[in-house]
Amino acid sequence: MVKLKEKITVGFLYPGFAAEDDYPRLGNMVEPAVDVELIHTDFLVDAHTVEALSEMGSVNRLKDGAEQLKEKPIDSVLWTSTSASFVLGMGGIKKQIQTLEEHLNVPASTTALAFVRAAKTIEAKKIAVAATYPLDVALLFKQLLESFDMEVLQYESKGIITAAEVGTLEKQEVLQFAKESDTQEADAVFIPDTALHSAEWLEDLEEAIQKPVLTANQVSFWEALRLAGRLDFQTGLGTLFRKKEIPSQIY
């Protein structure tokens, strides 16, 4: 008889309220199931602007969130905002990770960095980006990908200012946006906003454009499992969860 692995718990710091229900949903979709501890972090303004996102992803905000996870038996932790990570550049991303690891004594990462690791795992080098953000913020995500030797062939900006509005987008609109953002030469389409629901639509997204799709909540959950040493082959969660991780030194 094969002994079942002990259940693990993964932690997420999530700014505000939008698509946070994707995380417990993903916890129940993987096999074996994973427990989720999710903390809503505070911020001054719900806005996809560099100023607001920099405040949202500041070390002090992460420290406050980490304090609420300190007594939880988590095996890894993610700062679960793509934009409130990449707007700070790699220096800011490193500080976010260092802050979480020092406070919680578990491996940590951010959604922005999770995209980079996931891209390497699915061997995606030519990228199309479907960003819900305004154009100036979307271009900063493009810049991050290019700093890791990915070629961004096309990027689309939906121009939505608030995470709350992004969280209201429904399946057909998301599928259509992914298709409109794709280009034939791209290896994959990246959808980088954790405010966007995607957990239940991952296979539908890939079916719609006939290539791998990476979404923010998907790669965040994948990265949390990777850090906890619990990446297993999964069905129903897109190409990424069917691939064996390709270990790589990111920084």
Quick one: pLDDT at residue 251? 73
User: Vertex 52, ends 205 and 222: CA angle to 5°?
Assistant: 35
Quick one: pLDDT at residue 246? 77
pTM of the predicted protein model: 0.96
CB contact set of 201 (below 8 Å; sequence gap of 6+): 171, 174, 175
Domain boundaries, the chain: 9-113+218-237, 115-215
Q: Can you tell me the distance from the alpha carbon of 214 to that of 100, in angstroms, rounded to the nearest whole number?
A: 24
Residues of the chain below pLDDT 50: 1-5
Instruction: Give CATH for domain 9-113+218-237.
Output: 3.40.50.12500
Domain 115-215 has CATH 3.40.50.1860: yes
User: Vertex 147, ends 185 and 102: CA angle to 5°?
Assistant: 130
C-beta atoms surrounding 194 within 10 Å: 32
* Portion of the chain with pLDDT greater than 90, in percent: 94
Q: Can you tell me the distance from the alpha carbon of 54 to that of 44, in angstroms, rounded to the nearest whole number?
A: 11
Same fold, 9-113+218-237 and 115-215: yes
